[in-house]
Chain A
């Protein structure tokens, strides 16, 4: 009936002809099998297998793994982004994000520099057990800590602590290799002079390129050390950089660095939007974080029940994600710092602690979804993965 009526409408003949012609000469969609995934993998592969081509000792604490692609292709990234290395160690399947230290214009390999963490599950595995020619499974590059020319100034003050130097190494090398019009003032806080990663390379770059300024700041310097000592204070930054308007500040390092430097910069009158921080995992013990309930010790244990799954006991002071991994329950993860939302799980009942400022979508809060990498059980929980 409908068809019959439509045929009476003015202009039907022409449209009907169009339909016929288009069907005749149109697109054979069956040829497109697999094309979306193949295409997207050039930019954002979900998974890469990278081979350790070289291991470079940087300092007594740090080593660089030079990773080359098994299939000959590395996706591009923006200097400052990270990859997440997945591995199994001590019967635990887990992952860790590492900023890529090599620049994006280096298309042959990614360097990741690993700092040894005392009792660190993954850092010790990567530094002690991984050998040349081993293969690592990694995520594609990700992360939001990079220079965005739409909002960030050409003049950058970069503040690094410890292994937080790696994204800046990538940025600085890209700037000098590609002749980008940017100026960098790098303040690199380190406990000792020996622990300054890439010191020789950074000194050499700063010596050759007038737009790169390198200032190590040493907490416990050797006697007679002539460089900057102590912590990276606002007044130090102001003395070195001078006028700060028209400058964007980038900070990367352990939590203590943010806790100290952000207020220092704010004291200089720098607006919040000019201060960009890389995601970081909260410092242990978690009970030192503001808002942690006084009546709960990190060693308290609670029962976790997975909907339709197993029941086990968890330590309050351990991120839920880590507990799940130890129980052999795989939850995908990338940043492990509460930013990327990859490890999102639903808390059906019970309470967790989430450090202040963790970006969780409003409606996720309402329905109990959390980033399991920065959620700590405060009660018995039922969760949905």
Chain B
């Protein structure tokens, strides 16, 4: 019988950082990974002469060498910082509404103000005040999350804005709908439209991306996954690829180990699951081992959207294509009242907001010489795709991708003519590779009622079981990587 201290299910961001932290602290750790490569979403794939980035758009939390952000510090402690090179992106994003709006927000506070104030001179003062609020609110929020025991009354902004939506606040400060649409566009990285998105998240996005700059990684997110895995292996960790978990063994409310898909029984004192919360408790453990109350609490949560992504290899450099921003949000119009939320629930991609990323702008070595790659993303719930008959799947995929390419042509007119490789991922693709119900890419949704003020209880219903990844953390690279570190920390504390 094989035995480990900890079995980690899934080598996504959360699983990898948990495993590496535990191995570094002398634990005997085994990772089970269904796929043949580590990373989960943090991965890449090759087509023709291109290696496509799957998921990383803007890495947060890096900061600088002098003023390291939380993620840089964590990667430093794991010993992978030296292995990686980071590319700072000079801009937050370009917001584009055909015929109406075209502004690029630089990744510094005064630059954001200048750009917006120049474009919307009539609301100059309001713009200044809005970003003052964003900063002050974010700082207050961090203080609160770190130390909520401070006396009441020291959180006047939380008092007022904690349960306001992004739209509430944009409406309070601005009048021009086009102006509201610019900060509103950042919702594309979270998965809820401004009318439903807690203002807290919008404030955090602007605060962290301006203060710590959006980054990318040389070699893409796969380089990060491979580096963390490498550190894990160097500390004696073991991984089995092509080997999913079939069952988490539980007896008397405590984990005993894992049975792999191939029927191998491996014992362990702890299990860290990087699988979705639904998969972990419903499929791998089974309701008979879990108190009903646990599922009652989960009942109120809803699954986040998935993504529809078009990965395009182009036979020109970005400058030749007129692409000068790493991220462009192409908006069909200035609506922030939830029209785009409805769009996430239908198959068609006509009139969707398209998040357009071109990594080669900040890193000219990202693609082969004379070429670049662009990733077109729109967020979509899995259900409409699950209703497509399998035999029509390919046709629908191409039809919806074509509509997104047409959106892009409004900004970059030569785009289509220079496409060399095109690969399309639908919610079903994410469902296939991530194993998440509905292909969710952001875990559970974070409506106001599920926002960071109401985090799910960290206490596991099964002794020895810990969770890591987007289903128990905020979405994105930094939070999921951090969630693994927390899970590892909890285990190390129990071990004394």
Contacts and interface: CB of A to CB of B under 8 A. Distances in A.
Given A6-B162, A6-B453, A341-B36, A150 B405 contact: yes
Interface string B239-254: 0011000000000000
A28 interface: yes
Given A22-B300, A149-B402, 18 more contacts: A2-B144, A9-B453, A10-B159, A10-B164, A23-B300, A24-B299, A26-B299, A27-B299, A29-B282, A30-B287, A32-B282, A39-B428, A40-B431, A76-B391, A150-B402, A342-B242, A344-B241, A363-B227
Interface in A328-361: 331-332, 339, 341-344, 359-361
Contacts of A198: none
A273 B282 CA distance: 46
B437 interface: yes
Contacts of B229: 367
Contacts of B298: 26, 29
Given A32-B282, A33-B282, A148 B437 contact: no
Given A40-B428, A148-B398, A151-B420, A26 B300 contact: yes
Contacts, number: 180
Nearest to B281: A29
Contacts of B435: 36
A5 B155 contact: yes
A150 to B, nearest CB: 5
Nearest first, the 5 closest Cβ-Cβ pairs linking A and B are: A11-B163, A26-B299, A22-B300, A23-B300, A2-B148
A25 to B, nearest CB: 8
Interface stretch (A12-20, A209-217, A226-234, A255-263): A12-20
Contacts of B41: none
Interface in B289-315: 295-302, 315
Interface of A: 1-2, 5-6, 8-12, 14-15, 18-19, 22-24, 26-30, 32-36, 39-40, 42-44, 75-76, 78, 104, 107, 144, 148-151, 271, 273, 308, 331-332, 339, 341-344, 359-364, 366-367, 369, 384-385
A198 B281 CA distance: 53
Taking chain B's interface residues, is the majority helix, strand, or loop, or is none over half, making it mixed?
A: helix
Interface footprint category on B: 35 or more
Interface in B453-494: 453-454
Interface stretch (B88-96, B129-137, B217-225): B217-225
Nearest to B454: A19
B47 interface: yes
A332 B398 contact: no
Interface string B311-326: 0000100000000000
B84 to A, nearest CB: 9
A150 B454 contact: no
A164 B274 CA distance: 42
B409 interface: no
A44 B439 CA distance: 14
Interface string B394-435: 100010011001000000000000011110100010011001
B295 to A, nearest CB: 6
A9 B148 CA distance: 13
A22 B283 CA distance: 23
A19 B149 contact: no
B75 to A, nearest CB: 15
A10 B283 contact: no
Contacts of A10: 159-164
A366 B298 CA distance: 42
Contact of B419 (A29, A151, A364, A367): A151
27 contacts: A1-B148, A5-B152, A5-B155, A9-B158, A10-B159, A11-B162, A15-B449, A19-B300, A22-B449, A23-B296, A26-B298, A27-B299, A27-B302, A29-B295, A30-B287, A33-B282, A36-B279, A39-B428, A149-B398, A150-B401, A150-B422, A308-B238, A344-B36, A359-B46, A363-B220, A367-B229, A367-B230
A233 B431 CA distance: 45
A167 to B, nearest CB: 15
A35 to B, nearest CB: 7
A170 to B, nearest CB: 14
A144 B391 contact: no
Contacts of A271: 315
A8 B37 contact: no
B226 interface: yes
B390 interface: yes
B3 interface: no
A292 B461 CA distance: 57
A362 B295 CA distance: 43
B36 A76 contact: no
Nearest to B154: A5
* Residue of B148, B219, B299, B302 contacting most chain A CB atoms (<10 Å): B299
B81 interface: no
A144 B286 CA distance: 38
Nearest to B239: A384
Contacts of A43: 390, 393, 428, 432
Given A26-B300, A148-B422, A367 B226 contact: yes
B448 interface: yes
Contacts of B164: 10-11
A361 B226 CA distance: 11
A76 to B, nearest CB: 5
A76 B390 contact: yes
B193 interface: no
Contacts of B155: 5
B162 A361 contact: no
Given A15-B163, A42-B390, A148-B398, A30 B448 contact: no
A5 B143 CA distance: 13
A35 B282 CA distance: 10
B390 A362 contact: no
A230 B149 CA distance: 86
A32 B437 contact: yes
Contacts of B436: 36
B18 to A, nearest CB: 20
